[in-house]
Structure 1
Amino acid sequence: MPPQRATLLQVAQRAGVSRSTASFVLAGRHLDMRISEDARQRVLRAAQELDYRPNLMARSLRTKVTRTIALVSDTLASDPYAGRVIQGALAAAVAHGHLLFIGESEGDPVIEEKLISDFLDRQVDAFLYASMSTRYVRLPKQLKGRTVVLLNCLTRGPSPAQHQVIPDELAAGWSAATTLIESGHRGGIHLVGSPGAFAGKERLAGIREGLTAADTRLAGTIECDWWPEPAYEAVSRALAGGLNPQALICLNDRIALGTYQALREAGRSIPDDVSVISFDDSELAAWLRPQLTSISLPHYQLGWQAVEKLLGPPSDPAVSRLPMPVRRRDSIGKPPVR
């Protein structure tokens, strides 16, 4: 049988103080309760010697606070690339003395409803409602009136009812454009990918703003899905059809992988003939040769910041857009002389 847990009364008796004094010391209230330093040290020493751990279940019944939060997502938790979001959220929760429960619905509303009900039954203090891809969502009715922060997703409307933490895709698009501009590119810049999703639209808007500020514009778009094979096929067709780009802006690193293959087969050198820049800064970016310049999704910071908004000082609900830094590598060079 496991050893019996030490009780608060036993800690008090060993320290030679009252039970209430021991309770105040262990709750960090020794100053406002005017408890002497000597008594405080005796209580702490007794707690350590007895390996005392508070009964959190009993405390939560008294205070109605469980010091737990729940993250409900579609497929965020099981995606290895987005795992840093979970790490950031876990680290911030621990820093605030909370436990983080994680539930994944795989996009099934029935599973999502069951998950939220289970968490509510466990009396979690607050929720993170998260999405794998940045998008607009409708908050589940069970979470209305609850303490909630949206992680990597948004609700529609003129003013948010909850804090919403997303990456700054618009500024990332601007960064992609200005990175090429700073390397001397003024023309022959093409986009690779179909900007249909939220991130794609925001990135494209930022790219256009950045190019317009430099008095230039996109020379064209090579439409394709956000995966290596369709990108390879689309870029190969464009090159075979006579396209001679100076620079390609890929909407994510998977597109860049297919683009690299197509350029190599067409005898185009990166970056001597064509510069390439991308978004996400996944592991692919560092694996490719030459290594790919990519604009990083701040996964860890998204998770951390969402929990900070949840458990930190109260503030008016707002959309927080987190910076996406440029990871400069070897895929960008000066424009070729033609």
Structure 2
Amino acid sequence: MVTLQDVARAAGVSIATASWAINNNKNVRIPESTMRKVRKVAADLGYRQNAMARSLARGRSDLIGFISDGVATSPFAGQVIQGAQDEAWRNGKILLIVDTHGDPDIERRACAFMLERQVEGIVYSSWVHHEVRPPEDLARVNSILVNCFDRLGRFPAVVPDEVQGGRTATEMLTNAGHRRIAFVNATEQSPASQGRLEGYQEALAAAGLQYDPDMVMTCTVDQEGGYGIMSQVMQTGATAVFCHNDRTAMGLFDALRERGMHVPDDISVVGFDNQKLISAHLHPALSTVGLPQYELGVLGIRTLLQREDVGEKGEGGSADAAGEHGPYSPIRVACPSVPRDSIRILAAS
């Protein structure tokens, strides 16, 4: 194997000069001709630099930790990792990914493992948008939360804009002329259920419509829940319904079909999440609002690297967790509309 000493000998320079030239050390003045010569010799000899030595020389590892509680195994949230990986690669970084399945002990061990390998930062991500309690060691390094947040705002966080998403879903119906719009929400309280309800209310107000609590009902947000809520939806006299997610809408489709009703001729339906295995393959295809999963991953890495560049440093040289730069307010990413064929146009707004 070709060593740095071999490169230095062939180039006729010292080992230190060869190292500085290969690492492009900005703090040492080396003639441009010498740098070109050393690099050409290294390329001709097939020299490959030791990654650990390069990290020590440059003061950074080019490694970013990614700790998740199920993102890696979720068929829908995997786009978060894809976005993070693409953005990391564009910046010359590589992800170390650990899926903890929500086990706090694995989280702590994963964090310690990554710190030992001098990662430049850690992304802590959840497959569902909710409040989390990250391991304390996360504060020792530049870190960011993705699709989750901590209540005290100790860490910067990137999350979907649930309020905007709920508003967009409802506006798809008000813009089509609908005035009696039911909302099937989740029984369980969460940032998604609360935010989407708030967005629904905002869109009604913007359209000059009065909010009626009787038009809002809850169920388990899955196919069974959507199927079971159909009769309650029909009792409201709604011409359109906004479902908390696509799985709920799929169950509603099934129940309506059994009753001999047709979407969108008899009732219009909008979902949320844009789970393409569902929304694009229902008949008719479901109009919905997408979760910006890929964008969450991209922005998580981008924000992490920007914090490193501007030097928001805390204990031990890590990016400050809250400290003088916090508490942090979440960065909210817009949820895009995905219009398909499940909305009947009554009148243009």
Same-fold call, TM cutoff 0.5: yes
Partner of 2:321 in structure 1? none
Partner of 2:162 in structure 1? 169
Unaligned runs of 5+ in 1: none
Partner of 2:331 in structure 1? 320
- Does structure 1 residue 238 correspond to structure 2 residue 232? yes
Deviations 1:55-104 (A, max 9, x none): 11123345653221211121111112111110111112222222211112
Larger deviation, residues 135-144 vs 84-93: 135-144
On the 8 A contact 2:215/2:236 being kept in 1, the answer is no
Out of 282, 289, 299, the residue aligned to residue 295 of structure 1 is 289
Closer, same or farther: CA 58–30 of 1 in aligned 2, 3 Å: closer
Partner of 1:194 in structure 2? 186
Question: Post-superposition shift, 1:323?
Answer: 1.1
Question: Post-superposition shift, 1:49?
Answer: 2.5
Closer, same or farther: CA 120–289 of 1 in aligned 2, 3 Å: same
Partner Cα separation in structure 2 for residue 234 and residue 305 of structure 1: 37
Question: Post-superposition shift, 1:134?
Answer: 0.8
Partner of 1:225 in structure 2? 220
Partner of 1:26 in structure 2? 22
Larger deviation, residues 195-204 vs 166-175: 195-204
Partner of 1:45 in structure 2? 40
Closer, same or farther: CA 62–34 of 1 in aligned 2, 3 Å: closer
List aligned pairs for 1:170-185, cutoff 5 A: 170-185=163-178
Out of 129, 134, 158, the residue aligned to residue 134 of structure 1 is 129
Partner Cα separation in structure 2 for residue 111 and residue 145 of structure 1: 17
Partner SS, residue 186 of structure 2? coil
Closer, same or farther: CA 15–292 of 1 in aligned 2, 3 Å: farther
List aligned pairs for 1:1-338, cutoff 5 A: 4=1, 6-29=2-25, 33=29, 35-36=31-32, 38-61=33-56, 65-157=60-152, 160-186=153-179, 188-194=180-186, 196-216=189-209, 217-218=211-212, 220-235=215-230, 237-238=231-232, 242-283=235-276, 284-312=278-306, 313-314=309-310, 316=325, 317-335=328-346
Partner SS, residue 223 of structure 1? strand
Runs of 4+ in 1 over 6 A off after TM superposition: none
Partner SS, residue 264 of structure 1? helix
Question: Post-superposition shift, 1:7?
Answer: 1.9
Larger deviation, residues 212-221 vs 17-26: 17-26
Partner SS, residue 143 of structure 1? helix
On the 8 A contact 1:24/1:33 being kept in 2, the answer is no
Identity of aligned residues (%): 36
Unaligned runs of 5+ in 2: 313-324
Partner SS, residue 109 of structure 2? helix
Partner SS, residue 287 of structure 1? coil
Partner Cα separation in structure 2 for residue 29 and residue 123 of structure 1: 20
On the 8 A contact 1:249/1:277 being kept in 2, the answer is yes
For this pair of structures, how many residues does the alignment match? 326
Larger deviation, residues 247-256 vs 43-52: 43-52
Closer, same or farther: CA 123–145 of 1 in aligned 2, 3 Å: closer
On the 8 A contact 1:89/1:307 being kept in 2, the answer is yes
Partner Cα separation in structure 2 for residue 141 and residue 222 of structure 1: 39
Amino acid at match of 1:301: E
Partner SS, residue 24 of structure 1? helix
Question: Post-superposition shift, 1:318?
Answer: 4.1
Amino acid at match of 1:208: Q
Instruction: Report the TM-score when normalising by structure 1.
Output: 0.88
Larger deviation, residues 99-108 vs 199-208: 99-108
Question: Post-superposition shift, 1:32?
Answer: 7.0
Partner Cα separation in structure 2 for residue 55 and residue 125 of structure 1: 18
Deviations 1:25-56 (A, max 9, x none): 332347973522x4444333333322322111
On the 8 A contact 1:185/1:247 being kept in 2, the answer is yes
On the 8 A contact 1:21/1:35 being kept in 2, the answer is no
Partner Cα separation in structure 2 for residue 125 and residue 294 of structure 1: 38
Deviations 1:294-319 (A, max 9, x none): 11111111111111111123365542
Closer, same or farther: CA 64–30 of 1 in aligned 2, 3 Å: closer
Partner SS, residue 279 of structure 1? coil
Partner SS, residue 257 of structure 2? helix
Partner Cα separation in structure 2 for residue 265 and residue 202 of structure 1: 32
On the 8 A contact 2:227/2:255 being kept in 1, the answer is yes
Higher relative contact order (CA 8 A, sep 6+): 2
